[in-house]
Structure 1
Amino acid sequence: MGAAIPYITRTKSNNGLDSIALLDRNNKLTNPKNVITFGAESVKFFAQPFNFITGNKMYFCQRKDNVKLSIYQCLFLKSVFEYSLQNTGYNYGMGLTGERFSKRYIELPIYKMGCVNWQYMDKYISNIINSINVPKIEKFNNSNLSNLQHKIWKSKKISCLFDYVAKGKYLKKNKRIKNGNNPYITSTKLNNGLSSFIGNKTIFKGNKLTISKVDMTVSYQPYNFYATHDVTVLGHKKLNKYNALFLKVLIEQNKEKANYSNQYQLKKIEDLKLLVPTKDNDEIDWGFMEDYIKSIPNSNLL
């Protein structure tokens, strides 16, 4: 069986990770760990802590003297590189190739004699990381799965399950007010549906679920927000961040039904049926959904 190895591409998110590939253990095409990768068009830099393979038009940086970079030095340099390339115009029309990048100048911390101060980079990043209070992560156990098996489940239409179902509103690009504080929610499957922050007034109150029409990615929106026409918004007076996550899983079990040629807009979402936990009197058991999510290890981090 092959070895699992990160497949790094030109994506701007997830540290450049596209997927985990299986590679023959004798394959010599892997790239070294503790380097900084960047894509020609994305112009995003990422520190890679593991050996990896790459897609097309990918480059990585390492020290010219072949001394291994520490991961802290990689993180420091990532920020330096990206700052130095602000407003330089590199994009899909003019990619940042390895040759172009190698000819650029950057500012680095140095000793008085002019040598690069690598130790300063380590200490600077180390101080930042040590100042972050990282919570202890509990191990997951399967003990509470039996609660699901002994619950009564009934099929309910989304239009009956939620007391608020609405469609987002199209906002022309030239009408968007940049650099605001209000979440702008789109059909992206990344970043909880957040595309950017805008200065336009919000049109939906927080404590809602949003569904992308293209792939039915579901996100919980805790704050007031603006949603585009590509998004369906769901709400209920008993909805909270816990039972919302329970319902997110139920809705996304239907993801395979949606695609660009079969988009799930408002009417299809309203007619979609979900198997949901109910009480003996056939009422939806919102309390059970909330308590179940709360019982999962690390739910206190939500």
Structure 2
Amino acid sequence: MDNLSLDSRNWKEFFLEDVVSINGGKRLTKADMQFGNMPFIGASELNNGITAFTCSINESLDNNVLGVNYNGSVGFAFYHPYRAIFSDDVKRIKWKNSLHNNRYTLLFLASMIGQQKCKYAYGYKFNSQRMKRQKILLPIQPNNTIDWAFMEAYMKQKEQQILKPTIYKLCKQLIVNDILGGGKLLCSNWKAFCFTEVFTEIQRGKRLKKADHRDGQTPYVSSTSLNNGVDGFIGNDGSVRRFDDCLTLANSGSVGCAFYHQYTFVASDHVTKLKRDGLDKYAYLFMIPIINRLSEKYSFNREINDERIKREKLLLPATDKGEIDFAFMSAFMKDIERNILNTTLKVFNERVSVNKYKMGGGKLEELPLM
């Protein structure tokens, strides 16, 4: 089921006590708490409700459960797949139908309960009796029973939507860490080079007012820090500057943001083209996190003008002769890309294999790793 929508289902009100079991936590004072590795769940709205770690154990020990604050940060609900103990300010909630107690249906339930927190406050607690009689909306099937399959599929869809950009950011951070950390360990000879030594072409884009933009399909790159610097798509032909296979550096706005563009694009006057003939994309990508550090010394009120950029220097790997080691930069990034792709393919293979096995499809032929 792709692109699931909340509007695609019928909904029905249920009293919480009719669909979930509600159990209390157990009071544990700071004086009696012993430090350990087990999460202690308190009435906080931060850190998934975890307020401490302890080795103390009592009858509130639970897992695969929601912790719902009835005191303190009233109405906040968090899912706990791990073993934890709960304070007396937190209620433990699970579905009465134990077959459907999993992370996805419980996360769906947490969002439904969270919709009610505006009704409650420190002076109007979400106590057991009020919790039992609290109504929540849940999706239903044509026979008016809870649509467990929809809740699970919808939350899995949400998880994928969240994971995709998160994985992308983590991969970018991995590259940054490797270049600024691991890269220095692999290449012991680093040297400062002027921008004019690194790039053979340094050219600012051309001003194009919003009112003069014409609809089209050519990326328009400006000083945004999002979407690889692409601020829209235009069809202008005359009085613009087109570049390709180069870096852009935001000289104003999001000052210091650098992006690589393998495609043809139109550049605004808020970005500067950085190009070197014969350089491949991997060497360009290597330099991006290093160039981005310029944002530490520039700002909206101190732009990177043409004169300043010529005086700037980049710390880059150097050969024994003291020249820029573009070959090392390219090989390093190819290795990083290969490692990321191999890890990603392995995870995807495992995920697809598990899903197909559950659907009775038998063994899945693995995709080849690089």
Q: TM-score range by the shorter chain?
A: 0.5 to 0.7
Give me the whole-angstrom Cα distance separating, in 2, the residues matched to 1:114 and 1:220.
54
Structure-2 residue corresponding to 1:256: 296
C-alpha displacement at 1:294, in angstroms? 2.0
Structure-1 residue corresponding to 2:227: 191
Residue pair 1:232, 1:265 contacting (<8 A) in 2 also: no
Say which of 281, 286, 289 aligns to 2:321: 281
SS at match of 2:51: coil
SS at match of 1:275: strand
Structure-2 residue corresponding to 1:25: 51
Say which of 295, 305, 309 aligns to 1:269: 309
Code of the aligned partner of 1:119 = A
Give me the whole-angstrom Cα distance separating, in 2, the residues matched to 1:200 and 1:268.
30
Give me the whole-angstrom Cα distance separating, in 1, the residues matched to 2:77 and 2:187.
45
SS at match of 1:254: helix
Code of the aligned partner of 2:331 = D
- C-alpha distance 173-299 of structure 1, shift in aligned 2 (>3 A): farther
C-alpha displacement at 1:181, in angstroms? 2.2
Say which of 242, 245, 249 aligns to 1:207: 245
Residue pair 2:248, 2:271 contacting (<8 A) in 1 also: yes
- C-alpha distance 73-216 of structure 1, shift in aligned 2 (>3 A): farther
C-alpha displacement at 1:282, in angstroms? 3.2
- Structure 2-normalised TM-score? 0.47
Structure 1 residue 163 corresponds to structure 2 residue 194: no
- C-alpha distance 295-170 of structure 1, shift in aligned 2 (>3 A): same
SS at match of 2:187: helix
* Unaligned 5+ runs, structure 2: 1-38, 40-45, 53-70, 80-99, 109-117, 119-138, 343-370
Structure-2 residue corresponding to 1:146: 185
- C-alpha distance 272-127 of structure 1, shift in aligned 2 (>3 A): closer
- C-alpha distance 249-166 of structure 1, shift in aligned 2 (>3 A): same
Root mean square deviation, CA, Å: 4.7
SS at match of 1:296: helix
- C-alpha distance 296-28 of structure 1, shift in aligned 2 (>3 A): farther
- Structure 1-normalised TM-score? 0.56
Q: For each residue in 1:13-70, what CA deviation from the matched residue of structure 2 results, as whole angstroms up to 9, or x when unmatched?
A: xxxxxxx989982894484458xxxxxxxxxxxxxxxxxxxxxxxxxxxxxxxx9997
Q: For each residue in 1:152-208, what CA deviation from the matched residue of structure 2 results, as whole angstroms up to 9, or x when unmatched?
A: x33221122101111011211122123x32212111112221222223347333211
Say which of 271, 284, 290 aligns to 1:231: 271
Give me the whole-angstrom Cα distance separating, in 2, the residues matched to 1:220 and 1:226.
13
- C-alpha distance 277-24 of structure 1, shift in aligned 2 (>3 A): same
Give me the whole-angstrom Cα distance separating, in 2, the residues matched to 1:237 and 1:124.
49
Structure 1 residue 247 corresponds to structure 2 residue 287: yes
SS at match of 1:282: coil
Structure-2 residue corresponding to 1:119: 149
Give me the whole-angstrom Cα distance separating, in 2, the residues matched to 1:260 and 1:21.
34
C-alpha displacement at 1:266, in angstroms? 2.5
Larger Rg: 2
- C-alpha distance 124-175 of structure 1, shift in aligned 2 (>3 A): same
SS at match of 2:286: helix
C-alpha displacement at 1:264, in angstroms? 0.7
Residue pair 1:210, 1:220 contacting (<8 A) in 2 also: yes
Residue pair 1:186, 1:230 contacting (<8 A) in 2 also: yes
Give me the whole-angstrom Cα distance separating, in 2, the residues matched to 1:72 and 1:181.
42
Code of the aligned partner of 2:209 = K
Deviates more, 1:156-165 or 1:196-205: 196-205
Give me the whole-angstrom Cα distance separating, in 2, the residues matched to 1:269 and 1:71.
51
| Higher helix proportion | 2
Number of aligned pairs? 218
Q: After the TM superposition, which residues 8-87 of structure 1 pair with which residues of structure 2 at under 5 Å, given as runs?
A: 25=51, 28-29=72-73, 31-32=76-77
- C-alpha distance 28-224 of structure 1, shift in aligned 2 (>3 A): farther
Code of the aligned partner of 1:146 = L
- C-alpha distance 295-177 of structure 1, shift in aligned 2 (>3 A): same
Give me the whole-angstrom Cα distance separating, in 2, the residues matched to 1:199 and 1:113.
54
Give me the whole-angstrom Cα distance separating, in 1, the residues matched to 2:105 and 2:272.
42
